[in-house]
Structure 1
Amino acid sequence: MEQKYNVSSNPHVRDGMTTSRIMQLVVIALLPATLFGIWNFGFRAFLVVAVTVASSVIFEWLYDHFMHKPNTVKDFSAVVTGLLLALNMPAQIPLWMPVLGSAFSIIVVKQLFGGLGQNFMNPALAGRCFLMISFAGRMTDFAVSDHFRGVVDTVTGATPLAALKTQGFVEGTSVPVQNLFFGNIQGTIGETSALAILIGAVILLVFKVIDLKIPLTYIGSFSVFVIIYMLCTGMGFDVNYLLSHLFGGGLMLGAWFMATDYVTTPITFKGQLVYGCCLGVVTAVFRLFGGSAEGVSYAIIFCNLLVPLIEKATYPAAFGKGGKKS
């Protein structure tokens, strides 16, 4: 055999989808929620989004520059981190706080652990939790815009989840489902409209950026837990109460856009199902029994830390191993 073949290292089959392309699609998918938040809360929301995204990109560039690393700004991961962080903040937050949150997300959580692909938890959620712990009052100063009734002024108040938490459940007092679905409620910039979030989720599914395993197991296990809670507490099944928990708060945004982060989720099929169930149960426990009305952000970063254990427990045995010896 005179002809020689040059065999390169694996992988031998590559997908045409690049990291920058994936991140660009995520940005496009987040546009419905972003634009609705800007329309709903006004120019102040636009400023928060612009400042957070810009500061995330700047911190990424500065770190790469001073650490003499290749510039990674063009992969759009910093844009996604900044946009997700902005959508998880109230519109009335002082503008220096998004800058501080961006610095924590990009420098501490992402870059100090090796950059994209090495972070141990979702950077945007880590930044949000950092701000929540440091400035709880400012991070829970929510507003709702009365565009739906022709009034542009914003009115501060409790979110639907906070109302359920403080007032307890009384039949007929939960927020109307149409307000939860279309976005006429208090909350952060990007979490109020379930419809806008679901439009973005469809974009991710159509372009195969994500699949249904983690979001559906997350939402499904959470729903089952809430239903069991209603039945065990003598509340009885009430669909409005369930939908208030599903659409009121960050569950939809977290399930479709942050729980599906490639870096911080298991790679095994069974692991993703276990991960989704853990997210649903932990979120329900935090919401129903914890001191906070929310729980999505803390649940996701807590389960991010469990991913190595989940992968170890669900990793399939190598071919030819684990069988019975004859």
Structure 2
Amino acid sequence: MRAVVARSPGGREVLALADVPDLVAGEGEVLIDVVAAGVNRADISQREGRYPPPPGASELIGLECSGRIAALGAGVDGFGVGDEVCALLPSGGYASQVTVAAGLVLPKPDGVSLVDAAGLPETVCTVWSNVFMLAGLQQGETLLVHGGASGIGTTAIQLARALGARVAATVGSDWKAERCRELGADPAINYQASDFVAELLSATSGHGADVILDVVGAAYLSRNLEAVATNGRLVVIGLQKGATAELNLGALMAKRAAVLATGLRMRPLAEKAAIVASVRENVWPLVAEGHLKPIVDRVLPLAEAAEAHRVIEASEHVGKVLLSV
């Protein structure tokens, strides 16, 4: 089969399309003929050698894909050869085939093309597990999403709005703010031009955000504590601007707030399968009804994975960048 390999840890130039050994579905796995793969910032970290795959997983890059089932391993029920699916992967998506535990596979939702479906698993599972399963965002509450124009951000805006929450978002430009407003974010704040905390507090009459979904990390910790509401929940899922910061525990206690930090990739299979099952039950109907759709910025050929990484690194996109196989 064909796959994008990273010849060594490094810059985009280490990525190359190559022939690699064919795959066979093991017990409890399905073999998928990949149609498209999603590109995520975590892929860049893996390429650079800073985010290795879980033990026993493929060394190939790629955390989500869509395609058709080519074969079933022993003990797999509920899927058949030829089914159109998408899947949450520990790695391996940048390839013409992938094997994955059946518990991490989702049927392609109605109303979404098979290519676009590649942009759903990682973002939807991340948002659903953190904003709703963990932080418990409720109807009528306010969600603040940092990086609102990203794949995670565009998913969080749509999903929270569909379930009756108000959404605020931060972005790095006015044109991205406008795109977030179109998806339902109000306010959408250009953090380059204004103070996001002041803008949020003004828009919410001083209440702040009941839940904050943060991909920035250390650089925003103290500002997030100012922005979070009393009894609010700050969920850190990314460390784009640092992993270490000082936390004012007195201010945290005064607001009776919680700081939560999670990851998805390294969780045990059973935990990830439970998230996927919950997504299928609770989110897939919203996708089928048109309340949530993958926002696809562009689709590039698999051979142009380096260009896809450049687009992500330069933050030139809104929503997802996909690779077609």
Q: TM-score range by the shorter chain?
A: under 0.3
Higher helix share: 1
Q: Which structure has greater strand proportion?
A: 2
Q: TM-score, normalised by structure 2?
A: 0.25
Give the TM-score, by structure 1 length: 0.25
Bigger Cα Rg: 1
